[in-house]
Structure 1
Amino acid sequence: MDWIEQYSWVVWLVLILLFITIEMLSLEFTFLMLAIGSTVGLVAGLLGVPWWAQFLIGAAASVLLLLLVKPPLLRALRRGEDPAKSNVDALLGSRGQVVQTVSGHGGQVKLSNGELWTAIVPTDSPISSLEPGTAVRVLAIEGATAVVVPNERKLQ
């Protein structure tokens, strides 16, 4: 037990470095809060607090930081982000027109953004195929294939 009390600062430093390293890889602020909590535990140890109390103080500080500091910090960082959808998210719900008959095995559609996509109808759909000229809406993207359903409104 003497060893733990004498070298607890080394354990805290190792934890701090470990948490900071993981935070640099994940970038989600969870391990940053744990590193700061470990720093509070280290400071408590340097002030002469017993090792078991250091652990409780460090754990309490980490939990408080995770609950009280992390959520507002994430909100503040996301406040300036671009709300526009991109990549696959931008294609969901977009409209298009069947160019080559679309079935459960394949076909082609031209989307409203001008892109030509391989497409299929959903497997649970009552419709087995869509003929060329049919207006469609993108339901999902599976790999490089658009899952499309008939659209009620015609594409202009």
Structure 2
Amino acid sequence: MPAALIWLVFALGLAGAEALTGDMFLLMLSGGALAAAGSNWLLNLPIWADGAVFLVVSVLLLLTVRPALRRRFTKGEGMLEPVKALEGKSALVLDRVAQHEGQVKLDGEVWTARPFDDNDVYEPGDHVTVMHIDGATAVVWKNG
């Protein structure tokens, strides 16, 4: 079996393993193996040269590309900005809002809701204020 094909299988195996980890480390090694396969196929270099190409390209990818990819993929962690924008807005109670039930109309959409104070109950037609968003549930409070 030609060395270029071995490097290609190695690259595909590493890329497949990356799908299990999601850390971007194996993907960079896969890029190095792909570069080694290409250099062997184009230049027919000896196996030690393929190993050197694999090492250099993998290290360069790990030092340059991986940090940029990780920053991009972890940039939006936490609560999304549009959800934060809903905090403090007024909502209309559609279905009775109690500790484990309720719906409100908020910003033109129907949201599951629960009261900020578990003992409060709001009836349909009441106007409430969104205190915060907890997952897909609006936590609401009525002034006075």
Same fold by TM-score, threshold 0.5 exceeded? yes
1:36/1:62 contact within 8 Å kept: yes
Instruction: Please give the alpha-carbon distance, in whole angstroms, between the structure 2 residues aligned to 1:89 and 1:37.
Output: 37
Q: Distance in 2 between matches of 1:71 and 1:151?
A: 46
For structure 1, list consecutive stretches of 5 or more residues without a partner in the other structure: 1-5, 79-87
Give the distance between the partners of 2:30 and 2:36, measured in 1 at CA: 10
Q: Measured at CA, do residues 35 and 62 of structure 1 come closer, stay the same or move farther in structure 2, by a change above 3 Å?
A: same
- Is contact 1:44–1:57 with CA below 8 Å preserved after alignment? no
5+ residue gaps, structure 2: 74-79
Letter in 1 for 2:63: L
After TM superposition, give the deviation of residue 62 of structure 1 in Å. Answer: 1.6
2:82 maps to which residue? Answer: 90
Match of 1:114 in 2: 108
Counterpart selection for 2:65 from 66, 69, 72: 69
Match of 1:82 in 2: none
> 1:81: which partner in 2?
none
- From the superposition, tell whether residues 63 and 128 of structure 1 become closer, same or farther in structure 2 (CA, over 3 Å): farther
Are the aligned partners of 1:108 and 1:116 in contact in 2 as well (CA < 8 Å)?
A: yes
Within 5 Å, give how 1:1-156 maps onto structure 2: 7-18=2-13, 30=24, 33-42=28-37, 43=39, 46-50=44-48, 54=51, 57-72=53-68, 90-94=82-86, 95=89, 96-111=91-106, 113-121=107-115, 126-132=117-123, 133-137=126-130, 138-142=132-136, 146-150=137-141
- Computed over aligned residues only, the root mean square deviation of the Cα atoms, in angstroms, reads 4.4
Instruction: Output the amino acid matched with 1:11.
Output: I
Distance 2:111 2:65 in 1: 45
Percent sequence identity over aligned pairs: 28
Q: How many residues align?
A: 127
Provide the rounded CA distance (Å) in 1 between the counterparts of 2:67 and 2:142: 40
Q: Deviation string for 1:41-77 (max 9, x for gaps)?
A: 33369321438x81x65244223213203445788x9
SS in structure 1 at match of 2:108:
coil
